[in-house]
Amino acid sequence: MADQNELPPKYYLEYFNYLLDFVQEKYRHILNENEWRFLRKYYCLSEDAQCLFIRFSNRKGLFFKVNKLAYAELTDIPSLLNELLDREFIEPVNAGKHETFSKELLGVFGKDELANRFTKIIAATEEKVPNAERISYKKLKKDELVETLLKSFSFEEIVEAIQDLEPVVKVCFEFEVTFMKFLFFGNRYLDMTEFVVRDLGLVQYESHDDDKLVARFTTRKDAEDKWLITDQNDLFSQLKDTGTPLEIYDWFMNFTDSVNDLSEVAKPAYERLILKVGTFLEKNKLYDEALNTFRLTEQVPSRERQVRTLQKLGFIDEALSLCQLMIEFPKNADERFYATDFMNQISSKKRVHKKSTTSWLHQSDSITISEEFRHQVEMGVANYYIREGKMAVFSENHTWRAIFGLIFWDIVFDPSLVAFHHPFQRRPSDLYLPDFYEKRQDLIISHLASFDNIQTLLVYMGERYESKFGIANPFVPWLEEMWIIVRKAVEVINFESLKKILHEMSKNLVENLRGFPDLFMWDEGNNEYCFVEVKSPTDNLSNQQLFWLQFFKEVGVNSKVLRVFWEKPLEEVSSFSE
């Protein structure tokens, strides 16, 4: 098996050329002149020069030492470097062009290399540096050393100094290559290792013909807008460490004013950024600024955060109005239950008002188990049922996700629905967007209606389990025991009730794939079953858990909350009896 998965010496050349061919086919209409120039020049390189350039492009950074370059499949690297230099695919370090990349350039060298080199420079020019400014470079951490050197020396002096250490080159066409990878993958987080893990057999992907894959971006603006939001996400991560909260607010509002016509494909990422910034401002107690930021989107949990912020600002009437809207048109269970509890709390004359989840929890059954399960409470409850002669397994979200994934596999992975854009997708690009259900509603309803009974459904699921086993997907964990549990759950649940649950899940996969009970318990003797949400003495019920418990009750699926208390040790009981 290992021999079958061994990669050929120039595997990365095949991958890169495939990516370029794919991008040219799908995105020919949006490539600009710089990208076409790169392609023309790349195809004029010798094969080995292409390989060396790809080696550079697949590594982190823009600058590389050249003396120690060694690749078994490339026999004459000096001549390849000359070819890349002549064809403008690499260039020597240039003090006039590369100052923007000063930190990256210094990062090529080890701390000791830099410390030794610049200590010698200081010693040689000691009269130019007052003793008060001298510092032991070797005592600094790498990041501190880089910052110190950038403050102490001009970039021209730095370039001159490191050229005496070892020749360094900068890779060119870095933007063009990165942008083409971005077009191929649809984001800047996946990279060429996806090819490797596939061909090594580490991950299997659902197979689609390339001609059925569609471009992720229809226009150049679509791609550039998505790229822009990725840039702003990265910038926000940096600003959190360097800027004040108020500076970050000003930056974000200025940015927001510039993106009024943002492409649809970029809006989900933009809304996630809004929530990140708003949450950051709220945590830093800039409540007015946080409120202004949250109001830029209705994406969950924006409205809940607005209510909390309005309460802190003393705008209770406005908070109540928003809660009323959340109750009438909830986006998820968290919104509905939070808004209901907030309104009840404000209107209640009691000092303390029980939340919906708390009331449900206090009305639930309870058992006592050994304190040895304090940190494995679900296992303790499973053990309790097993001692009673029943079967109990961990199910939580995994069982329901697997049921959903097997039943709707063909719909989820249907390339005709314009949601698959490259061969390494584990899921459709719209899986967690409202579009997923809207585009597939009729298919989902008719697919569920096509099954006459549980047996036909189980046969269909079994066929998908066998034929798709091991293929990467967002739903099914490929474990043998998983299929046993899934099959048993489908057998005992009322057929029509199961259909209603699956349909409800499909309406909002972001929210409705979570919150299912911890355990699945059944009794082979009397055909009894129950989905059990386990709660230790200090645990609380979440809104989404309450949503599914209520939904199960409405459709006739057995479920309950089980509160757990700890058995007192015998010596403690004895002391009380005395």
Give pLDDT tens digits for 167-189.
999 999 999 999 999 999 999 99
- pLDDT for res 570: 47
Class of residue 475 by CB neighbours under 10 A (exposed 0-12, middle 13-18, buried 19+): buried
Class of residue 202 by CB neighbours under 10 A (exposed 0-12, middle 13-18, buried 19+): exposed
Average pLDDT over residues 89-102: 94
Contact between 405 and 478 (Cβ < 8 Å): no
Average pLDDT over residues 51-71: 94
The sign of the torsion formed by the CA atoms of 36, 39, 45, 46 equals negative
- 110 compared with 120, residue with greater pLDDT: 110
Average pLDDT over residues 419-436: 93
pLDDT-derived band of residue 133, with 50, 70 and 90 as boundaries? very low
> How far is it, in rounded angstroms, from Cα 229 to Cα 256?
11
> How far is it, in rounded angstroms, from Cα 488 to Cα 83?
65
Q: Taking 70 as the threshold, does the pLDDT of residue 3 lie above it?
A: no
Contact between 369 and 383 (Cβ < 8 Å): yes
Q: Taking 90 as the threshold, does the pLDDT of residue 198 lie above it?
A: yes
User: Which residue has 């209901």 as its token pair?
Assistant: 340
Instruction: Count CB neighbours of 44 within 10 A.
Output: 10
Q: Which of 113, 104, 106, 111 is nearest to 171 (CA)?
A: 104
Residues of the chain with CATH 1.25.40: 210-359
Average pLDDT over residues 303-320: 96
pLDDT digits (tens, 9 = 90+) for 249-295: 999 999 999 998 999 999 999 999 999 999 999 999 999 999 999 99
Alpha helix ranges (H) inside 153-301: 155-163, 174-185, 193-199, 220-242, 245-257, 267-283, 287-294
Contact between 492 and 529 (Cβ < 8 Å): yes
Share of the chain above pLDDT 90, in %: 80
**Proportion of the chain in helix, strand, coil states, percent, rounded to 5:** 60, 10, 30
For 354-377, give one letter per residue: b (16+ CB within 10 A) or e.
ebbbeebbeeeeeeebeeebeeeb
Contact between 544 and 518 (Cβ < 8 Å): no
pLDDT-derived band of residue 470, with 50, 70 and 90 as boundaries? very high
- 164 compared with 246, residue with greater pLDDT: 246
- pLDDT for res 573: 41
Q: Taking 70 as the threshold, does the pLDDT of residue 387 lie above it?
A: yes
Contact between 153 and 110 (Cβ < 8 Å): no
Q: What is the pTM of this model?
A: 0.89
Rounded alpha-carbon distances, angstroms, from residue 286 to 242, 289, 293, 308 = 17, 5, 11, 13
- pLDDT for res 66: 93
Q: What is the CATH number of domain 210-359?
A: 1.25.40
- pLDDT for res 124: 59
Contact between 481 and 537 (Cβ < 8 Å): no
Q: Which of 77-86, 156-165, 461-470, 513-522 has the lowest mean pLDDT?
A: 156-165
Q: Taking 60 as the threshold, does the pLDDT of residue 84 lie above it?
A: yes
> How far is it, in rounded angstroms, from Cα 26 to Cα 214?
7
- pLDDT for res 207: 93
Rounded alpha-carbon distances, angstroms, from residue 537 to 114, 164, 363, 563, 564 = 57, 67, 14, 7, 6
Q: Taking 50 as the threshold, does the pLDDT of residue 514 lie above it?
A: yes
pLDDT digits (tens, 9 = 90+) for 27-55: 999 999 999 999 999 999 999 999 999 99
- pLDDT for res 577: 42
- Largest Cα–Cα distance in the chain? 94
- pLDDT for res 348: 74
DSSP annotation of 165 reads: T
Rounded alpha-carbon distances, angstroms, from residue 64 to 67, 104, 114, 169, 333 = 9, 10, 15, 6, 52
- pLDDT for res 525: 80
Average pLDDT over residues 340-353: 76
439-550-563 Cα angle (round to 5):
130
Lookup: tokens for 233? 């996400």
Average pLDDT over residues 302-319: 96
- pLDDT for res 437: 95
Q: How far is CA 371 from the centre of its chain?
A: 37
pLDDT digits (tens, 9 = 90+) for 474-512: 999 998 889 999 999 999 999 999 999 999 999 999 999
Q: Taking 50 as the threshold, does the pLDDT of residue 576 lie above it?
A: no
318-324-328 Cα angle (round to 5):
150
528-535 and 519-523 strand pairing: antiparallel
Average per-residue pLDDT for the chain: 91
> How far is it, in rounded angstroms, from Cα 315 to Cα 92?
61
Average pLDDT over residues 514-525: 93
> How far is it, in rounded angstroms, from Cα 452 to Cα 455?
8
Average pLDDT over residues 199-214: 95
Contact between 360 and 368 (Cβ < 8 Å): no
